[in-house]
Structure 1
Amino acid sequence: MENIIQTFFDLKTYADVFPYLLRGLWTTIWLSAIVIPLGAVSGLALAIVMTQARRRLIRWTAIAYVDFFRAFPPLVLLILIYFGWPFLGIELNKLAAVVIAFVLNNTSYFAEVFRAGIEGVPKGQAEAARSTGLGNGQTLLYVVIPQAVKNVLPDLVGNSIEILKMTTIASVVAMPELLRAARDAQSLVFNPSPITLAAIMYLALLWPLTRWLGRLQHRRAH
């Protein structure tokens, strides 16, 4: 038991590497703060195209985008963008590559969530709004989208939690997020305790969000 504690829960190692891991946690948080809004806004725009576009070609192009990036592994996508695009003459820094890969991937998930929300709003709501003199755009903005967001809020929160967890794959391009910081610290102290501390920090960050998601799902179910 003592050997397990010294290997995975060494408090001295925790104290030594905590400031370094805290910087990695901050990188994880602000990276998520960039990707989540961009993915949500892009996904909403794509969902509007999927549900409102009159031309079948436009609508099916949006659907093909969603299907493609939902099926494409985000890790492979990141590697292709960061290591592959330079062969095409497009060189990106780590942050740009990670943001582009994550937004391309998560836009598809947000789009599917918003699409379900928009289609879940009764058509009578839109018809009633238009009967009061609102145009199609105003009806969508003031009547349909607010109800759609309310209906799928738990799914939006769940997707945001998944993005927070997905930031760990940014370590493959040496982005100094929490997991990368923990792995670097482990190589310096020759002890897996930094990885354990990183896991504890992830848990502290995600547990409240997970509990909030559970309450939202319970409220929607009732």
Structure 2
Amino acid sequence: MKPIATKSVLPVRAADEIRGAILSGALLPGARIKQEELAARLGVSREPVRQALLMLQREGLVFTEPGRTATVATLDRRFIADVYELREVIEGLVAATMAKLCAPDLTHLEEIVARGREAVRLRSFRRLIELDIAFHSALYEAANNRVLIDVMRDQWNHIRRVMAMVLGETSYRDRVWDEHAAILEAIRSGNPRRARAVAAHHTRAAKLFLLGSVASEGIPFL
């Protein structure tokens, strides 16, 4: 974490730093967050850190109780399953919608897939997570549905926490970009039913893999 300055934005900047540590896995689920130590590392007083932790509690990333040390929120398996079930429906709809378009422009999505394959080759796990999120976000953008974009934006933090802990599995890293490419191929075919099925299958398979991997790693849950 980097020291931060400028009093008026200290809580926001502190929240950004703590959030980044949680999403990257530097702060694991259930880890205690000592305000004094954190304030010293960030180069601020305890008050901005206290406010930052309250912000992160509202996001569901931190759990705090009066008079007790804050902790990183544990991962709720039911919540993760619910998010992925929502994604299965939404992304199937998005893929089907795009397949109905006349010659949809998939250039940006294809570039993300290419960068994802390169990240696999370089074993850049953090980059893999960023590109996976970028791919699915770009699908929503291409479908031009602002409601879907807004609905899913708040869920990526929770999904990213899980992905950061399981993308070390080589078979999954390779497979995910093959499946992304298959989604684009199905969209390009102009067959909405096929596009919906391929996109839904990808999300369903990812959910099962992630939940199984997290359970096998013994990561804390609620």
Work out whether the TM-score is over 0.5: no
Greater relative contact order, per chain length (Cα 8 Å cut-off, separation 6+): 1
TM-score (norm 2): 0.31
TM-score (norm 1): 0.31
